[in-house]
Structure 1
Amino acid sequence: MMCGAPSTVQPATAETQDIADQVRSQLEEKENKKFPVFKAVSFKSQVVAGTNYFIKVHFGDEDFVHLRVFKSLPNENKPLTLSNYQTNEAKHDELSYF
């Protein structure tokens, strides 16, 4: 992977699900609702001064959300941050930079 360029879309892993789970409460607070299902489906990553994760999450029925999560460098010892998100996404919608 080239530094700064997002990776190709990959199937979600246990690590991806863990990242999504860690920012779930941030999203629920911003959207003022609880999500009964929160399953990471796929992701891209981008190495910057840390790592951006773009994660497609299924949250019930045919509903999906795209998350952008920032993971700081290990020596900074900061929690994961939900940088941005896109609601009203569908299963077939491309996971791209936002």
Structure 2
Amino acid sequence: MEQAPQTHPGGLGGEKPATSDIQQLCDMVKADVEMKIGKNDEFVAVTYRSQVVAGTMFFIKVYIGDGKFVHVKIFRNLQQQPFLEGLQENKTENDPIEYF
């Protein structure tokens, strides 16, 4: 998995293009997201921001098809295990990723 960007602890880093590691992280929580919003044909990480805590919090913009996006909040603990921590629906491609 990708290392967290170099930011000060607790600070939310800038928005970056999603990498294959970020997509893999999304894939690990996809079933949890689908339980909340329903199954989607697509689930593609677009951009992300991260926050260093006791582990790393990832805020990821995900394309779910039909011009729709969600923002997914994933916590990866120090043992590298990901957990879905939050979800924002009804987002657009232009909505910035903000802390939630």
Question: TM bucket by the smaller chain?
Answer: over 0.9
Q: Is 1:20 the equivalent of 2:22?
A: no
Taking the TM superposition and a 5 Å limit, the aligned residue runs for 1:9-48 are: 9-31=15-37, 33-48=38-53
2:86 alignment counterpart: 84
2:60 alignment counterpart: 55
Number of residues paired by the alignment?
A: 94
What CA RMSD, in Å, does the superposition of the two structures yield over aligned residues? Answer: 0.9
Q: CA deviation at 1:62?
A: 1.1
In structure 1, the residue corresponding to 2:99 is in which secondary structure? Answer: coil
2:11 alignment counterpart: 5
Query: Which ranges in structure 2 are unaligned for 5 or more consecutive residues?
Result: 1-6
Cα deviation 1:20-60 (Å, max 9, x = unaligned): 110000011122x2110000000001000110000000010
Instruction: Please list every run of at least 4 consecutive aligned residues from structure 1 whose deviation after the TM superposition is greater than 3 angstroms.
Output: none
Query: Which ranges in structure 1 are unaligned for 5 or more consecutive residues?
Result: none
In structure 1, the residue corresponding to 2:28 is in which secondary structure? Answer: helix
TM-score by length of 1: 0.92
Aligned-pair identity (%): 39
Q: Is 1:73 the equivalent of 2:78?
A: yes
2:3 alignment counterpart: none
Letter in structure 2 aligned against 1:89:
K
CA distance in 2, matches of 1:5, 1:25: 29
In structure 2, the residue corresponding to 1:95 is in which secondary structure? Answer: coil
